Amino acid sequence: MTTTLVTGGAGFIGSHVVDRLIAAGQTVHVVDNLSTGRHRPLGAQLHLLDIRSARLDVRSARLPELFREVRPDAVVHLAAHADVRHSVADPVFDADVNILGTLNVLECCRRAGVGRLVFASSGGALYGDGAPLPTPETTAERPASPYGVAKLAAERYIEAWAALTGATGVMLRYANVYGPRQYAFGEAGVVAIFAARVAAGEPCVISGDGEQTRDFVYVGDVADATVRAMRVPDAPGPINIGTGVETSINGLYRRLCRAVGLDAASARYGSAVPGEQRRSVLDVTLARRVLGWSPSTSLDVGLVQTLEHFKREIVAR
């Protein structure tokens, strides 16, 4: 039986990945610092599941001890500081988590003899504006934010770790992931923020003119791609995980309002976000060929499921 350690496994994407791994019969260990508090999806129920967990930051000096105890066959590295705005305001903190935290994980992998690592990178933040659309993995990276720079640096370190140890590092460049269990505050994505407010009948604030675009991919599809990546014998480099469909923020808001019968004209507009990419949509041809993966959840279906999640949260409060 394969033993897999998932960093960030109590979080939004991580909890869905953990679900898939358990369903596949794997032994799962979770490392998560629960930094976003009580809303963490698995934080309050790990003791009820057949999962060993440690409340631990990936930068911790105690991480090597955990690796020695667990002896994982594979690692899925999802833990990250994922706030582009905060990375602009405090790039040192962003680099500390996303670069030095990754290096700590890689060094633990080296010492424990881990043979495979799947890394959650970023598709939108790495390529920057001016890239061909949809953007293939062969496009030169031009990150516009410290967050993107840190993710690119982490990819390079993983490539060096794999070459030096003979292990396999698979880097998945996620598009904008959304879906149930996403945190609606702090590092949240725009879908979670909007869905939580729309579900509560509250107005939303759209940054800039709202015509900036993103590739919104459903979390269940992302979890599927991540688990598939653990079985790839050899990856040719980074792999985009998205839909290939470009959606504006204005269009996203209209879809959410339509789903609950709200007037989309109720939106307010605020200032643009420094370092934010104008347009982003990923070419996922390589994922189809290498992983045998394609997104299966349409945006409208995924948004309805996300809204239902936030409606249940409102009722539970």
- Please list the active-site residues: 147
**Burial label, 250 (beta-carbon count in 10 A; 0-12, 13-18, 19+):** middle
Give the count of beta carbons closer than 10 Å to the beta carbon of residue 66.
18
Q: How far is CA 206 from CA 165, 201, 232, 249, 296, in A?
A: 46, 16, 40, 7, 28
Scanning the structure block, which residue is given the tokens 């249940």?
Answer: 312
Give the count of beta carbons closer than 10 Å to the beta carbon of residue 71.
12
Bridge-partner residues for 241, per DSSP? 174
Is 175 in contact with 280 (CB distance < 8 Å)?
yes
Bridge-partner residues for 118, per DSSP? 76, 170
* Cα separation of the two ends of the chain: 40
